[in-house]
Amino acid sequence: MTASMRPDDGQAQAIGSICIVGGGTAGWSAAALLSQVLRGSGCRITLVESSAIPTVGVGEATIPPIFDFLRNIGADEVEFIRRCRATFKLGIQFRDWLHHGHAYWHPFGNLGVTINQRPFHHYYCMNRAAGHGETLADLCPSVALAEDGKFAFPSPDGQWPGGAVAYALHFDAGLVAAFLRDHAVAAGVERLDRRIVGATRGEGERIAAVQFDDGESLEADFYIDCSGFRGLLIEETLGAGFEDWKHWLPCDSAVAAPTAAQEQRAPYTVATARSAGWQWRIPLQHRTGNGLVYASDFISDADAQAQLLAGLDGEAQADPRVLRFTAGLRKRAWVGNCLAIGLSAGFLEPLESTSIHLIHTGLNRLLDLFPDRRFDPALIAAYNRDVHREYAHIRDFLLLHYVPNRREGEPFWDHMRGLDLPDTLAEKIELFTRTGRIMSRQRELFSDISWFYVMHGMGLTPAALDPLAEAAPFGEVRKVIDQLRGAMQAFRSAAPTHDAILDRLLDPAETR
Ligand code: FAD
């Protein structure tokens, strides 16, 4: 490119300073990643947090792309697991969602193998329709391990069954923020423990400076708002607006309380449906995280607290703490020279552990669309469009857990069954129940197999299946299923327990 083809000097326009507001999981994730990517660029990164304002501190379950993030920031996985008191997560067990006494799995990882280039879920449905008794535990390695309280790392050769395992982590959110902080500070991020009382606006939709309670202020080229639900910069200063999805996802409160660590730590999250929401159980190395997510229109705080305590496996180790939220997202997560990441950008209930992932995809998207000081509106519009698409996809997936329920006579569940669905979800359910097809789009978080696990778990069955799958002689399909089942039995009996794997990892003398 010749100099004359450039609108002006790109170097002179480079972002020279970034101010991250907030030191929860979002703020320190942003600091850890940006300090890695911008090292050597001369860009100064400052993170401002107030030790007088607590973080939310309850984000404790993740999904498999957490490991991409750890790699991207250059963190050591085993050190992370040790320091953040993490356990492995093979998926989520949903209890009582379809009806009382029912349970199903949304595991990570694959089901069966592709036959004749058709996904296995068609053969799974065919097999069940023909009266055969194989369940997910016979054909999905992550479910088999989870049911046995076992764990295995995916086999590197990718061969079934070991190659079909996928996993994520449960961890202590406070320890994660400390881990990321140490990582970012070592990479040159400056940390200020100061309380911000406001921000001044510059030209247009730009922030000029943030102001501290002692009268001082800090200027930067680019601001990343990680201040939590309140959206100190994105909402209170820039008025980005909020798209409220409470009419679809009415849960707006949570109450949380830890219990002692499980004697045998389960390698999965449990989500149990309750009268006006659901209760999580997340096993960590040193304690168990518990919480009840509920719709305050359907149950009082006092009854929710009593319900949480009654549903615990042990004694609560602290008084239940109530949190409030609204499902939805900022109308614009990026405005001018300010980008919201984390709870300041939006929130969808933690049923599928997507919030921390949304922090990471927001940061990855920022890297893809990284601005210079001109803050090209085309970059900003592309970012905001993509965020909306991503949130809508997750919203639909969350709704799928509620809508087909058969908990008749319970006001919250009756309400959820009667919802007017977003078209995108109604179309997906119709396509599956008529044809067995799902058709997730590329770059969507939840792939066909995740949709299948939840649709199947929630009792949706297809009226017809893929004719190309049905064209395979059923005797041949049965042979494959018999082979898979045999391989699975050997695999699950040889696998070590989850505790044994953790003990080995946590022993400083051992390496994986
Ligand atoms: P916060 O944790 O609220 O941090 C805000 C930061 O801003 C703090 O450091 C605070 O000091 C600072 N701050 C605020 N105001 C000021 C000020 N005036 N001056 C200076 N500093 C300021 N996510 C998952 O992925 N998995 C889960 O299992 C999960 N479970 C959840 C359960 C519940 C009930 C809730 C509510 C959320 C859950 N989440 C989960 C979401 C997860 O907790 C958040 O995505 C994550 O913690 C990020 O929060 P944050 O950093 O955006 O905000």
Best mutation site among 356, 357, 360, 391 for ligand 1 pocket (most ligand atoms within 8 Å of CB): 356
> Around 415, how many Cα atoms within 13 Å sit in the side-chain half-sphere?
15
Q: State the architecture of 14-86+171-247+327-376 in CATH terms.
A: 3-Layer(bba) Sandwich (3.50)
Instruction: Please give the distance, rounded to the nearest whole angstrom, from the Cα atom of residue 128 to the centre of ligand 1.
Output: 43
pLDDT score recorded for residue 507? 84
Best mutation site among 19, 25, 224 for ligand 1 pocket (most ligand atoms within 8 Å of CB): 25
Give me the residue label for tokens 């083809």: 5
**Which residues, 6+ apart, have CB-to-CB distance to 167 below 8 Å?**
64, 88, 89, 90, 108, 109, 142, 151, 153, 154, 267
Give me the residue label for tokens 């999904």: 63
Among candidate residues 300, 290, 232, the one with its CA nearest the CA of residue 260: 290
**Which residues, 6+ apart, have CB-to-CB distance to 481 below 8 Å?**
112, 123, 127, 132, 134, 139
Among candidate residues 312, 244, 238, the one with its CA nearest the CA of residue 272: 312
pLDDT score recorded for residue 442? 82
Spatial separation of the C-alpha atoms in residues 381 and 365, rounded to whole Å: 12
Q: Hey, what are 96's tokens?
A: 């009582």
Backbone dihedral angles phi then psi of residue 104, each to the nearest 5 degrees: -145, 165
Other C-beta atoms closer than 10 Å to the C-beta of 363 total: 24
Q: Tell me the pairing of strands 17-21 and 44-49.
A: parallel
Among candidate residues 499, 372, 49, the one with its CA nearest the CA of residue 232: 49
Look at residue 117 and give its three-state secondary structure: coil
Instruction: Please give the distance, rounded to the nearest whole angstrom, from the Cα atom of residue 505 to the centre of ligand 1.
Output: 29
pLDDT score recorded for residue 510? 59
Find the helix or strand (DSSP H, E) in which 450 lies. Answer: helix 448-457
**Which residues, 6+ apart, have CB-to-CB distance to 324 below 8 Å?**
229, 252, 253
Spatial separation of the C-alpha atoms in residues 501 and 512, rounded to whole Å: 9
Instruction: Give the atom of ligand 1 at the shortest distance from the alpha carbon of 60.
Output: 28
Report ipTM for this prediction. 0.99
pLDDT score recorded for residue 4? 37
Instruction: Give the atom of ligand 1 at the shortest distance from the alpha carbon of 227.
Output: 7
Residue nearest to atom 29 of ligand 1 (CA): 59
Spatial separation of the C-alpha atoms in residues 225 and 154, rounded to whole Å: 37
Spatial separation of the C-alpha atoms in residues 93 and 104, rounded to whole Å: 6
Instruction: Give the atom of ligand 1 at the shortest distance from the alpha carbon of 226.
Output: 52
Residue nearest to atom 6 of ligand 1 (CA): 22
pLDDT score recorded for residue 59? 80
E strand spans, 147-286? 168-170, 190-193, 196-201, 207-212, 217-218, 222-225, 242-244, 253-256, 259-260, 269-274, 277-283
Range list of H helices, 355-403: 355-368, 377-402
Instruction: Give the atom of ligand 1 at the shortest distance from the alpha carbon of 354.
Output: 25
Instruction: Please give the distance, rounded to the nearest whole angstrom, from the Cα atom of residue 228 to the centre of ligand 1.
Output: 5
The domain limits of the chain are 14-86+171-247+327-376, 109-166+422-499, 253-324
Q: Please list, residue by residue across 44-81, b when 16 or more beta carbons sit within 10 angstroms of its beta carbon and e when fewer do.
A: bbbbbbbeeeebbbbbbbbbeebbebbebbebeeeebb
Give 192's strand partners. Answer: 48
Residue nearest to atom 40 of ligand 1 (CA): 59
Residue nearest to atom 18 of ligand 1 (CA): 196
Find the helix or strand (DSSP H, E) in which 294 lies. Answer: strand 287-294
CA 388 to centroid of chain Cα atoms: 16
Instruction: Please give the distance, rounded to the nearest whole angstrom, from the Cα atom of residue 310 to the centre of ligand 1.
Output: 27
Q: pLDDT tens for the chain, 512 residues: list them.
A: 333 344 455 556 999 999 999 999 999 999 999 999 999 999 999 999 999 999 998 889 999 999 999 999 999 999 999 999 999 999 999 999 999 999 999 999 999 999 999 999 999 999 999 999 999 999 999 999 999 999 999 999 999 999 999 999 999 999 999 999 999 999 999 999 999 999 999 999 999 999 999 999 999 999 999 999 999 999 999 999 999 999 999 999 999 999 999 999 999 999 999 999 999 999 999 999 999 999 999 999 999 999 999 999 999 999 988 999 999 999 999 999 999 999 999 999 999 999 999 999 999 999 999 999 999 999 999 999 999 999 999 999 999 999 999 999 999 999 999 999 999 999 999 999 999 999 998 889 999 999 999 999 999 999 999 999 999 999 999 999 999 999 999 999 999 999 999 999 998 765 54
Instruction: Note whether 246 and 326 are within 8 A (CB).
Output: yes
Positions marked active-site: 89
Other C-beta atoms closer than 10 Å to the C-beta of 119 total: 22
Which residues' Cβ are closer than 6 Å to ligand 1?
Answer: 22-27, 48-50, 53, 55-56, 58-62, 173, 195-196, 226-228, 232, 254, 291, 323, 325, 342-344, 350, 353, 355-356
